[in-house]
Each structure stands twice: as C-alpha cells, then as structure tokens.
Structure 1
C-alpha cells in the first residue's frame, strides 16, 4: 500500500516533462494518490495532456492563476469530481525574462506586480479555494521556493523578492489553516534545469558553483524533490507545518 493511497491531489505547474510538478505528479501516482493537473493555457496543454495520459490522469483543468474566476471554476470541478481534496501542490512562478538579468534596478512596477501576483499571491488564492474542500481531511499544501528568497543570487532579482513573499505566505497560511488540520509547507529546491530556470541569466554558472560547494558535491534531481513532496503530503509529516524544507544537497548550510 502506497503512502498516499486514497488521497486526492491537485497539482498546479506542470509545463513539460522537466517540471518539478511533473516529477511530483509521477511520485504521487506511484504512491497511490489520485491526481488532477491544472495547466496555464492551451499552449501548455499540448505538452500536459500526453503526460497526464501516460500516468492515467483523466482530470486536467485549464486555470489562469491570476483569475479568481478561473480558480473558483477549477476548485468547483474538483468538488464535483472528488467531493473534497487532500493535497494541493503550488509549483507556479513567473517573472518577465528581461527582469531576470542584470540589476534589480531594472525591475518595473508592472514586472514587480506580475511576479508577486503569479509567484506568491496565487498560493493564498488557491488556499482560499482549497480550504473548504480540505475540511476534516488533514490536508497538505506544498509550494516550491528557492534559496534566492533569503540570499542574493546573480540575476534572480524580483523572483527572489517574490519567493520571500511566498515563504512568508506559507508561514501565515500554516497558522491560519492549522486549526482545520491543514498543513502548509514549502520545498526549497537546489538549481534544476526547468522551463522556469532557463529564463534566469547565468543559471549554468550558479548550478556549477552549487555542485562544487554543497556538502554532497552535486546538484539534485526533480525526483529527489518529488520524494520530499511525498513525505510532506503523507501522514509521515502530520506534525510538520510552516516549514521551508531544503532539498539542495546541503548548499544552504555553507558560508564561505
């Protein structure tokens, strides 16, 4: 019997087969969870649909996380299909590519608002819709963050600010949803080659430094992040909430 047998999981953020969210979806299915995937738009759908089919996922839902109406419609479909929800995975982030290179002084007001809305506020908006579906189910909400939230990395700029806001949101949501038995945590993954990281200037150099300096002397894989997501989604972590769980080969403990 899998660790997530009988659980219902809604995952936002699968863009292709390199996405962290996709590795999480595969791991959840292996552990017995029923999975639904929410995708951003029709361009992404062309990649998501074959992936969903490959692991037997039949519930795929379009959702623009900037739209309250879209979010309400998505969670209404979950309510209709499943009657409730056990696990919500938020693996969503975006900033304009031109603002992920050079100095943070290049950040525009519009770019700042967009990055914070998609990368941070969307977690709160999702949690708001998920809350009534998680009543009495010991639910688990998991988001994805990065060490650039607390330390300065070249070119990460406004995304670092957005991830800091995301991590603060995790803590406040953990307190706000705790009385209903819902746990809220984040996973801080080391550098991974994904569609999102491709937009960050100098990513290859950052990954090389991490591999050379981390205690394990290597970078991580999507599957290793997914393993921690299984733990945080399962009853094994039923007393863990409000945490940022690092999966980065230990890089975050290193000073000079």
Structure 2
C-alpha cells in the first residue's frame, strides 16, 4: 500500500486496454484514491464502469480542447480533497491526414493541434496541480521511443513527443523546489486504441518483440507498476526522467 492516503488524477482512460487504465489499476491497488476523466459523452459509457471498479468518487468529462473543462476538474478536486498527490497525463492526438503523411508535408494547423493536445495540455495540468501539491507530488505523462529515433510511420508525433519529453525536464526544474517530481513513461509499442492510428502498427509490434532483449512486449500492467512506484515516496529523489518500460527495446541500435 505504497500510495495509501494519496490522491491522484488519471486523464486518458478510453477503455480497458488503455495505458492509463493499467496505471490506474496499480495506483488503486497501492492504496490511492483516484479521480478519473473521460473525453466526452460518447466515451463515458466505456470509462465510467472502469472508474466505478476503481472506487472513484470523482468522474468527470475532460476534453482539453473545450474551454474550462480541465479547470473544472481541478476545481472539483480542490473542493472534494483540498490536495493532490499525483497526476497521470495519457492523452495524445494528431489529425489522421497529418499523421499518415510525411512530416515535411504536415499542416501548420495539424501540427499546432497535436502539440496543444499532446504536449501543452501537460504543462497546463502542471500549472493547475502546483497549488494543490502542498506537500510535493508527482506529475507523469506518456511518451514513445519515436521521440528520440525515427520510427517508420510515427511521422509528426515524433517531434511532438520530443517536445513533451523536453517539457518534462523543464517542468522538473521549475517545480523541484516545491518537491514536485516530473516523469515521462516510455512504453514500447502497445496495442491500444490510440496506437491503432499509426500505419502498419502490427508490423511495429512484431519487430519490437523480436528486437527487445527480453523478446517480449510490455503490458499496461507493467507500465502501471512503474507509475505507482514513481508516485510513491520511495521515488522522492527521482525527477526529470524518461522511464523506459519496453523490455529493453530502446537500447537496440
């Protein structure tokens, strides 16, 4: 129960295959109380039963493109709990026509939208979480190896995730004096709904399994174990890192 008496916000559950859900399960098993968000009315029937299975009392809509929704989530947390110990940000988006084309051909509007949802929303969450993390805390986001190396068909999301990882380092520097730690979780390829938008993703999964030193793919539960540890007091001296959870895939040339 390494997270007993801690309060956490999980943003990004779409279904029971979501990385965010794997993390939420491990947070809850470790003793944390959770606030859960869903994207919109269409997503709610898929997410609310999962939130209920996690005994979440705060379940709210959160589309970061809709003015005021993110702020409303943090206002409710302040009203109900008066504090926050950790946040998991697991959302990303790119317009399909931009994602499936070459980076050099992506539109300014598509690139800006991908950066806003996938990167700047994490910065916004950090700003809103800061006054609630009165005794320190932990901010976590989800990235991918394509931020550092060229991954075929990852295209525009590579630079976007690189910006997200750089933001993690700068946020860690900004907030460290307040005891707020910041991390990026970097799983290898996982078969999630979000990943299905990447071209020929099944081939990427097969190659990753073959190339990883452990000859396996990580699971959402594997990611959750690491996320729970990072949110705990046992990780209080760790910050600003990209934590790879990929059976060693990232070390291969």
TM-score band by shorter chain is: over 0.9
What secondary structure sits across from 2:59 in the alignment? strand
Q: Could you tell which deviates more after superposition, 206-215 or 61-70?
A: 61-70
Pairing 1:88–2:87 present: yes
RMSD between superposed Cα atoms in Å: 1.0
What secondary structure sits across from 1:185 in the alignment? strand
1:14 maps to which residue?
Answer: 13
1:57 maps to which residue?
Answer: 56
Pairing 1:33–2:32 present: yes
Q: Deviations over 1:49-90 (max 9, x none)?
A: 111112211210111213452222110000001000001101
Poorly superposed stretches of 4+, deviation over 3 Å: none
Work out which of the residue numbers 153, 157, 160 in structure 2 matches 1:159: 157
Deviation of the 1:122 alpha carbon: 0.4
What secondary structure sits across from 1:42 in the alignment? coil
Work out which of the residue numbers 177, 187, 200 in structure 2 matches 1:202: 200
Contact 1:170–1:186, Cα closer than 8 Å, also in 2? yes
2:171 maps to which residue?
Answer: 173
TM-score, with structure 2 as normaliser: 0.97
Aligned residues: 253
**Whole-angstrom distance in 2 between the partners of 1:56 and 1:64:** 22
Q: Deviations over 1:136-161 (max 9, x none)?
A: x2201111000000111111111111
Q: Deviations over 1:144-195 (max 9, x none)?
A: 0000001111111111111001000000000001111100011101000111
**Whole-angstrom distance in 2 between the partners of 1:242 and 1:163:** 15
Matches within 5 A, 1:24-173: 24-67=23-66, 69-135=68-134, 137-173=135-171
**Whole-angstrom distance in 2 between the partners of 1:238 and 1:83:** 22
**Whole-angstrom distance in 1 between the partners of 2:8 and 2:194:** 23
What secondary structure sits across from 1:188 in the alignment? strand
1:251 maps to which residue?
Answer: 249
Contact 2:94–2:113, Cα closer than 8 Å, also in 1? yes
TM-score, with structure 1 as normaliser: 0.96
**Whole-angstrom distance in 2 between the partners of 1:79 and 1:114:** 29
What secondary structure sits across from 1:36 in the alignment? strand
1:233 maps to which residue?
Answer: 231
**Whole-angstrom distance in 1 between the partners of 2:74 and 2:18:** 22
What secondary structure sits across from 2:91 in the alignment? coil
2:219 maps to which residue?
Answer: 221
**Whole-angstrom distance in 1 between the partners of 2:101 and 2:65:** 27
Contact 1:104–1:155, Cα closer than 8 Å, also in 2? no
**Whole-angstrom distance in 2 between the partners of 1:106 and 1:96:** 13
Consecutive unaligned residues in structure 2, runs of 5 or more:
none
**Whole-angstrom distance in 2 between the partners of 1:234 and 1:251:** 26
